[in-house]
């Protein structure tokens, strides 16, 4: 995208094409205008259009330009935080409601893929949260206990079974979550876009919303060359937000995260690494993730941005880490590299904002947007359709809250990752 091979890397190379879209020019009217063409906006557009509502979606750049086209592709249930933190932070009603909805999120993703026949490399064999050392295992045992008390199909695997599944002896065990899986993230976003167009939604790209105001009963959102007049505005711009709702970007601390993809591996090696094709990440503070794509490439990621001096540090660390984890890989060459910004909130939970009458949106998925974005997009559509009242939403409505020292924290994330990866190189 934008001729930048480090923005969407492998996913850009292997995703089917997006629907043909144009820039918004002139005036459009709709029941709802949706701002942002990631999972949240596309799911909202699709569900609204399927219900017969008039929908216009405006995307600043291209479908999947934000987190949706850059992520690892792990379809997770819940969030990073422990399940018990939901009711602790949100109270028992919202806490358990949000947790149940997000626990079922991967199921909704699978249903959407199947219903709309989205070609996005879906693998439904679960994810492995890998324990680094006894401390990591202790944390995962507690996480498993909290999910199991809610009936979730998660289990703890010992070191031997983990080694059998992963092909590396580096881990003390793992949490297997059978609700979860992997997909090709940009292909999923583009597939949702095709389905939304088919259902009757109008999608415009290269159409950044620059201002929004009210004209009588209607909301009017404007781009450089056009405007949309609508009863509802859904704000689905999350961490990549620009324009009138930039406050959403500013209330999140950006955590940079990169991915590197090997060349397709030989059949022999493919039999020895992740033969079950689970998606994996570990319990380290500066975590790593890995998964296979359908072409047999190993996609390996960690905290950091592939720009400036960080690029060499992170890539060199990744080579050494992979060589340690999977010596059978031999000389490692990467075919693609990319990175993006993960939006983190101060309590690591997503937020629901009402910016004005009939102007509403979720944000702050803290690195967990595939299932939550799809789910919350559906919830927003149902709210607009009058099927879910404000009181029955999965999160309480809150005002945007700016974090203290955001630029400093962002610099710290990148510097911390570089230091961890540089130090890691020497062992």
Ligand X SMILES: Cc1cc2nc3c(=O)[nH]c(=O)nc-3n(C[C@H](O)[C@H](O)[C@H](O)COP(=O)(O)OP(=O)(O)OC[C@H]3O[C@@H](n4cnc5c(N)ncnc54)[C@H](O)[C@@H]3O)c2cc1C
Question: Of residues 78, 106, 181, 243, which one binds ligand X by CB under 6 A?
Answer: 243
Instruction: List the beta bridge partners of residue 362.
Output: 352
The answer to the question of residue 242 lying near ligand X (CB under 6 A) is: yes
Number of residue whose CB is nearest ligand X: 369
Nearest to ligand X of 273, 380 (CB atom): 380
Give the side-chain half-sphere CA count within 13 A for 10: 28
For residues 139 to 168, the per-residue mask of contacts with ligand X, x marking binding by CB under 6 A and - elsewhere, is ------------------------------
For residues 198 to 237, the per-residue mask of contacts with ligand X, x marking binding by CB under 6 A and - elsewhere, is ----------xx--------------------------xx
Question: Of residues 21, 24, 50, 76, which one binds ligand X by CB under 6 A?
Answer: 76
Cβ neighbors of 53 (< 8 A, separation 6 or more) are 30, 31, 32, 381, 384, 385
In the complex, what is the shortest distance from the CB of residue 60 to ligand X, in angstroms, rounded to a whole number?
3
The answer to the question of residue 128 lying near ligand X (CB under 6 A) is: no
Burial of 248 (0-12, 13-18, 19+ CB in 10 A): buried
In the complex, what is the shortest distance from the CB of residue 243 to ligand X, in angstroms, rounded to a whole number?
3
Give the DSSP per-residue string, 15-35.
SPPPPP-B---EEEEEEEEEE
Return the closest-CA partner of residue 381 out of 116, 45, 52.
45
| 265-278 burial code (b ≥16 CB/10 A, e <16) | beeebbeebbeebb
Return the closest-CA partner of residue 107 out of 82, 76, 83.
76
> Cα(8)–Cα(15) distance, rounded to whole angstroms?
10
Looking at residue 397, the DSSP 8-state letter turns out to be: B
CA angle 84/88/94 to nearest 5° reads 95
The answer to the question of residue 105 lying near ligand X (CB under 6 A) is: no
Question: Of residues 8, 11, 66, 261, which one binds ligand X by CB under 6 A?
Answer: 66
In the complex, what is the shortest distance from the CB of residue 317 to ligand X, in angstroms, rounded to a whole number?
17
The answer to the question of residue 257 lying near ligand X (CB under 6 A) is: yes
Residues 294-353 that bind ligand X (CB under 6 A): 340-342
Question: Which span (67-75, 137-145, 394-402, 413-421) binds ligand X, by CB under 6 A?
Answer: 67-75
The pair of three-digit structure tokens given for residue 105, joined into one six-digit string: 């999120």
Residues 359-398 that bind ligand X (CB under 6 A): 365, 367-370, 373
Query: For the chain, how many residues are written?
Result: 427
Q: How many residues line the site for ligand X (CB under 6 A)?
A: 41
Question: Which span (5-13, 59-67, 312-320, 402-410) binds ligand X, by CB under 6 A?
Answer: 59-67
The answer to the question of residue 274 lying near ligand X (CB under 6 A) is: no
CA angle 328/183/142 to nearest 5° reads 80
Nearest to ligand X of 85, 337 (CB atom): 337
Query: Interface with ligand X by CB under 6 A: which residues?
Result: 35-41, 58-61, 65-68, 70-74, 76, 208-209, 236-243, 257, 340-342, 365, 367-370, 373
């Amino acid at each position: 995208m934008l001729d930048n091979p480090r923005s969407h890397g492998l996913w850009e190379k292997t995703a089917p094409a997006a629907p043909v879209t144009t820039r918004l020019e002139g005036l459009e009217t709709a029941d709802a205008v949706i701002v942002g063409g990631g999972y949240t906006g596309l799911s909202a557009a699709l569900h609204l259009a399927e219900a017969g509502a008039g929908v216009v979606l405006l995307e600043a750049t291209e479908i999947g330009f934000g987190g949706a086209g850059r992520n690892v592709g792990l379809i997770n249930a819940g969030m990073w935080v422990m399940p018990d933190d939901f009711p602790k932070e949100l109270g028992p009603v919202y806490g358990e409601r949000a947790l149940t909805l997000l626990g079922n999120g991967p199921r909704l993703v699978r249903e959407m893929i199947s219903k709309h026949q989205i070609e996005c490399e879906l693998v439904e064999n679960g994810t492995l949260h890998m324990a680094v050392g006894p401390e990591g295992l202790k944390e995962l045992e507690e996480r498993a206990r909290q999910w199991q008390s809610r009936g979730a199909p998660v289990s703890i695997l010992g070191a031997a079974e983990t080694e059998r599944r992963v092909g590396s002896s580096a881990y003390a065990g793992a949490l297997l979550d059978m609700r979860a899986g992997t997909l090709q993230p940009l292909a999923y976003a583009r597939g949702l876009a095709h389905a939304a167009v088919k259902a009757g939604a109008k999608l415009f790209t290269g159409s950044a919303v620059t201002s929004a105001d009210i004209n009588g009963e209607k909301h009017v959102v404007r781009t450089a060359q056009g405007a949309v007049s609508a009863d509802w505005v859904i704000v689905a711009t999350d961490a990549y937000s620009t324009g009138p709702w930039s406050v959403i970007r500013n209330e999140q601390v950006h955590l940079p995260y990169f991915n590197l993809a090997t060349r397709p591996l030989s059949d022999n090696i493919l039999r020895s690494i992740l033969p079950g094709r689970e998606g994996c990440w570990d319990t380290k503070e500066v975590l790593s993730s890995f998964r296979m794509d359908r072409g047999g490439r190993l996609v390996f990621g960690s905290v950091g941005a592939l720009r400036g001096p960080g690029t060499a540090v992170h890539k060199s660390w990744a080579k050494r880490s992979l060589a340690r984890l999977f010596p059978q890989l031999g000389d490692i060459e990467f075919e693609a590299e990319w990175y993006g910004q993960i939006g983190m909130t101060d309590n690591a939970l997503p937020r629901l904002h009402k910016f004005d009458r009939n102007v509403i949106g979720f944000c702050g998925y803290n690195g967990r947007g595939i299932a939550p974005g799809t789910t919350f997009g559906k919830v927003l559509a149902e709210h607009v359709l009058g099927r879910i009242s404000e009181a029955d939403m999965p999160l309480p409505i809150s005002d945007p809250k700016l974090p203290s020292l955001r630029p400093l924290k962002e610099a710290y994330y990148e510097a911390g990752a570089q230091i961890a990866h540089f130090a890691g190189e020497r062992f």
